[in-house]
Structure 1
Amino acid sequence: MQTMDPIDATPSGGLRSPAVARNTGPILEVLRAHLPARGAVLEIAAGSGEHAVAFASALTGLDWTPSDPSPEARASIAAWAETARLPNLQAPLALDMLDPATWPEGTVQAVVCINMIHISPWAATGGLMALAGRMLAPGGLLALYGPYREAEVPLAPSNAAFDESLKGRNPAWGLRDRDAVAAAAKAEGLALTLRTSMPANNLMLMFRRV
């Protein structure tokens, strides 16, 4: 499971991240305002599964399907889901944005991706946009959360240090330029409609399927 955060195992087998505990509330507030009341949501790179449980619990009209290419992550998601026993939380899927053969068929109303784009090669962002462009219904929402570079906004010292640590761990990782992400989305029929500042120098970027 790709993460830069310290994680601990719980007695149930689920993994717990302090970063998730900090950002779940702010992310949920934005999602609640922009996700539809009902429909299907696909979460990409769901990691430990804590977000999936929190969002499915709070947004009961949505059918929430988490996914992650990591067996360790999927085991953690399944453990949290077993404890929560939510009727609208589906079993985790083994989706890899670098392997279209793993992508599901069908249509969803929203795709949510939290803290993946900077901890993956750039090709994974292209894969995410292609998947969202293919699966989202017209008007459907792609919601991204994480740190980004912006030409018009000075890079926060903490984000600059984070970027260096990412590249030190894997040269293919690093903070992405917001406009480059928007251009990759546009190529797949997705328009950037909202930029929202979040705590700890993160952003929520919202794209709509045109």
Structure 2
Amino acid sequence: MPGDDGAVRKHAPATLRNREPIAEMLREELPVAGKVLEVASGSGEHCAFFAELFPGHFWQPTDPDPGALGSIASWCAGLGNVLPPLALDAASTHWPIDTADAVLCINMAHISPWEATLGLVAGAERLLVKGEPLILYGPWRREGVATAPSNEAFDASLRARDSRWGLRRVEDLDTAADARGFARTRLVEMPANNLMLVYRR
């Protein structure tokens, strides 16, 4: 639907199902105040929802897709604690932001090349001071834990669309994070066979 600024709003159906459980986790993991950088904001629905729930934080949405930036701006119009959306490719070494008090990334790792997740961790290393969180949400594989049949089917469909996509292993992310000085401080099973992963230095 068109927003007041003429942009076309995108809609991600999963947002309505997962935004409340994610928000509950954010209440426990975000700093008391500060700037939250959301990488790969997509439609912008999560950012708009969280910004209203956490008025003491400034939210910086980003996405590499110009169409997504318009959708984000439309969903977040009128929210005084949401900064204008920025174009950001997580895989790039040049991010248009220098500091953040938390980095949040929802449902990106499996629908992008692995280089984007590696870039996310590298970017978090540049932006976050010691103790501040890097938070990821989505479907992940774990060593020794059976993957739900629905996630297996999802993985197959992703790889059919792009061979560089697919569900990632938590252990591989742990290794990449360790190389940047981060350690996983939390793993929480979330609804619909997703995980919330939190890393800190």
Is 1:11 aligned to 2:5, yes or no? no
Equivalent positions of 1:1-150 (< 5 A) are: 10-12=1-3, 13-82=8-77, 85-101=78-94, 103-150=95-142
Normalising to structure 1: TM-score of the pair? Answer: 0.91
- Tell me the equivalent position of 1:161: 153
Counterpart amino acid of residue 87 in structure 1: G
Question: 1:3 maps to what in 2?
Answer: none
Cα-Cα RMSD: 0.9
What is the rounded CA distance, in whole Å, between the counterparts of 1:194 and 1:22 in structure 2? 22
> Structure 2: which 5+ residue stretches go unaligned?
none
Name the CA distance, whole Å, in 1 between partners of 2:48 and 2:97.
23
Secondary structure of the residue aligned to 2:81 is: coil
- Structure 2 counterpart SS, 1:197: strand
Separation in structure 2 between the aligned mates of residue 172 and residue 106 of structure 1, nearest angstrom: 29
TM, length-normalised to structure 2: 0.95
Superposed CA offset, 1:152-191 (max 9, x none): 2111101100000000000000000000011111111111
Identity, % of aligned pairs? Answer: 51
- Runs of 5+ unmatched residues, structure 1: 1-9
Shift of 1:105: 4.2
What amino acid maps onto 1:98 in structure 2?
A: A
Q: SS of the counterpart of 1:182?
A: helix
Q: Give the total of aligned pairs.
A: 197
1:37 shift after superposition: 1.5
